[in-house]
Structure 1
Amino acid sequence: MPSTPRPLRKLGFLTIGLFDAADPARGHESTLQIIELGERLGFDSAWVRHRHLQYGISSPVAVLAAASQRTRRIELGTAVIPLGWENPLRLAEDLATVDLLSGGRLNPGVSVGPPMHYEQIKEALYPDTADVEDFSYERVRRLLDFVRGKPASDFSGVEGFEVFSDVVQPHSPGLGRRLWYGGASLGSARWAGEHGMNFLTSSVVKAEQPDGPWDFAAIQLSLIREFRDRHPDGEAARVSQGLVVIPTDSASPEQRAKYEAYAARRLPRTASPQGPARLLFAPDLVGTSEEIAERLRAHAAFREVDEVAFALPFTFEHEDYIQILTDMATKLGPALGWRPAG
């Protein structure tokens, strides 16, 4: 068993779902096959990331609707849907629909803030309201209310042959307890806890203190503790960590070289905060499962969680993901005390 206060209970993975613009169907099919493989390997959850005007999944809810019909047990999540692109009422309808289709396996993760490159896309996205759109936590609150069954209308009843509800339909009981907030700041952790959400923390945090040295694990630990301090469930409140993890146990020499080069290219950004938002990135973890497990057991934030959704690297090949997921499920997870589901 791992020498951590919280042995690993749930093992998940996250994929961005890249595709070739000339053949987008192939990339989406690859994502669905990876999710099916995850279920066979005993993973507890599979998560997809959201990308707009890029060559990655732009409609995770639609992809997970398809995945819900090709799997039976694995939980399906979004990490995360940026609500700046969404109408909370319409999204609540879609999420409840997919949750019912999946048998109650959906774990929607969301975040707020203006869409990326907003000045370039605002006329296409909000041609009439671009300058008055509210991208604050209020957008999450509206989604929470609609999913949890608060009225969206002051009218209900029969009108002619039509029957109307004052709450979003369909309603999926339990979905309101499976909503996650993807946060990188103390403010986000605090808000998510106060509103009874679950908390996704990834390989990116905000360095809110002005001076270094900056310790990624310590900052992430502070987010987790702030969240749980504010959550009604306290220490039992759910937190999932999402570092980039690449086990190499069964990798070929060529794959290992590619993985190490990938991590090396990304390492410089982990030394100090990046950009106006002062984002601090965690180093990618590459090595044998025993080596990675040792590093995770020493990671202050990992020691506080019992759920993870390890992020698959971008731009790799389908066969690489098969190798990485297989090693995660058969080597790394057991090294951390995890047992496959099902």
Structure 2
Amino acid sequence: MKTIGFLSFGHWSPSTGSRTRSARDVLLQSIDLALAAEELGADGAYFRVHHFARQLASPFPLLAAVGTRTKRIEIGTGVIDMRYENPLYMAEDAGAADLISGGRLQLGISRGSPEQVIDGWRYFGYQPADGESDADLGRRHAEVLLDVLRGEGFAEPNPRPMFPNPPGLLRLEPHSEGLRERIWWGAGSNATAIWAAKLGMNLQSSTLKNDETGEPFHIQQAKQIRAYREAWAEAGHDRTPRVSVSRSIFPLVSDQDLAYFGRSAENADKVGYLDAQTRAIFGRSYAAEPDQLVAQLAEDEAIAEADTLLLTVPNQLGVDYNAHVIEAILTHVAPALGWR
């Protein structure tokens, strides 16, 4: 059995064929797709965060809005770049969104990915400390966030406050109990997956990771997940962690599906460089008739290892088409693989 949700990058463009021609289109359609996915029986609505791009950025207004329109579905991110974040302000926003949704927030965070601009986090007022890299900056912000989400007091109260204070040191408000255990780390390497396990974060592993062994993507990703779980056990945490992987999966069950994805050229892994030093491997997409998809996906070791599958959706094709893709997977693929 698997938790199955969608992951939207939230692109918009005025180009021909785009159903999302503005930021408003993307935001409103994201809410509508989350509602449609819930009605279809999907388990999660997740959104990517990119800055300086025509894509979804500030996630908490959207997550709160989705939380008011839905009742059951998990709402989350995959992922928020912590190099850009004030972790204390973020804890307040996340606590509010989680309370609005009734404790359904699943917050994916990370050190970030290649950007639209050079060192974009500097424009947000952040920079690495002496001796730090920008990745260190992101991980430091993440550790602060995890600490304040525990809900323990740390701030010295004013002896003459405007309003009466409870006794002791003060914590951030609003505090949402249990949110600390619903933080996920988007790991691009085995080492950061192990680091996340030690800190008690769930694991998100996407369609991209460092090429550490030269093996096929799904095998490297499965090894990353196993290393994460071993580190989690060694850390002695008292709960079972969750692990998600992301995939682009398109059952070809209609003429429209064939027109969009019937000749997909992304049916093999790709290798490239994120920067001059980092060799990365990009996982393949899956597009085939349902029986072929079932056979192909059954061989994906990383999907087998994960408890949660996030389906990356082509949001610019509109709510109706993306709901169709989700329904086709839930109907034609998931049951045959034992995911449902």
Which residue of 1 is the match for residue 292 of structure 2?
291
Instruction: Quote the residue 1:4 is aligned against.
Output: none
Residue number among 193, 197, 203 corresponding to 1:199 in the alignment:
203
Residue of structure 1 aligned with 2:212, choices 208, 212, 230? 208
Flag the 1:63–1:180 CA change in 2: closer, same or farther, 3 A. Answer: same
Query: Is this contact kept in 2: 1:245–1:286, CA < 8 A?
Result: yes
Q: Please list every run of 5 or more consecutive structure 1 residues that lacks an aligned counterpart in the other structure.
A: 1-7
CA shift at 1:157, angstroms? 6.7
| Percent identical residues | 29
Q: Tell me if structure 2 keeps the 8 A contact 1:152–1:167.
A: yes
Distance in structure 2 (CA, Å) of the matches to 1:184 and 1:304: 17
* 5+ long unaligned stretches in structure 2: 15-20
Match of 2:12 among 16, 19, 30: 19
Q: Which residue of 1 aligns with 2:334?
A: 333
1:159 to 157, 161, 168: 161
Partner of 2:150: 148
CA contact 1:202–1:242 (8 Å) conserved in 2: yes
Structure 2 length as normaliser, TM-score? 0.86
Does structure 2 conserve the Cα–Cα contact (< 8 Å) formed by 1:240 and 1:305?
A: yes
Shift of 1:115: 7.1
CA distance in 2: counterparts of 1:235 and 1:244, whole angstroms: 30
TM-score, L = length of structure 1:
0.86
Distance 1:30 1:149 in 2: 34
Write out aligned runs for 1:240-259 (5 A).
240-249=244-253, 251-252=254-255, 254-259=256-261
Equivalent residues, number: 322
Compare 93-102 and 52-61 and name the one that shifted more. Answer: 52-61
Aligned-partner SS, 1:125? coil
Q: Is the 8 A contact 1:248 1:324 kept in 2?
A: no
- The aligned residue for residue 127 of structure 2 is 130
Deviations 1:64-94 (A, max 9, x none): 1000010001010100001111100100110
Q: Which moved more, 1:149-158 or 1:93-102?
A: 149-158
Once structures 1 and 2 are overlaid, which stretch shifts more, 322-331 or 148-157? Answer: 148-157
Task: Please state whether the residue corresponding to 1:303 is helix, strand or coil.
Answer: helix
**Do the aligned residues in 2 keep the contact of 1:242 with 1:309 (CA within 8 Å)?**
yes
Question: Partners of 2:99 and 2:334 in 1: how far apart?
Answer: 30
Helix, strand or coil: the match of 2:205? Answer: strand
Q: Which residue of 2 aligns with 1:305?
A: 306
1:258 deviation in Å?
1.8
Let me know the Cα RMSD of the aligned residues: 2.4
Classify the secondary structure of the residue corresponding to 1:37.
helix
Residue in 1 that maps onto 2:17: none
Does 1:238 find its partner at 2:239?
A: no
Q: What letter matches 1:70 in structure 2?
A: R
1:320: which partner in 2?
A: 321
Residue of structure 1 equivalent to 2:178: 174
How many angstroms apart in 1 are the aligned matches of 2:272 and 2:226? 22
Find the counterpart in structure 2 of residue 108 from structure 1: 107
Residues 26 and 271 (structure 1 numbering): CA distance in 2 closer, same or farther, change over 3 Å? closer
Whole-angstrom CA distance in 2 between matches of 1:172 and 1:69: 16
Q: Secondary structure at the match of 1:301?
A: helix
- Give the Cα separation in 2 of the matches to 1:114 and 1:37: 29
Q: Is the 8 A contact 2:245 2:306 kept in 1?
A: yes
Distance 1:157 1:325, change over 3 A: farther
The separation in 2 between residues aligned to 1:45 and 1:301, in whole angstroms, is 19
Q: Secondary structure at the match of 1:324?
A: helix
CA contact (8 A) 1:184 1:201 kept: yes
* Deviates most, 86-95 or 117-126: 117-126
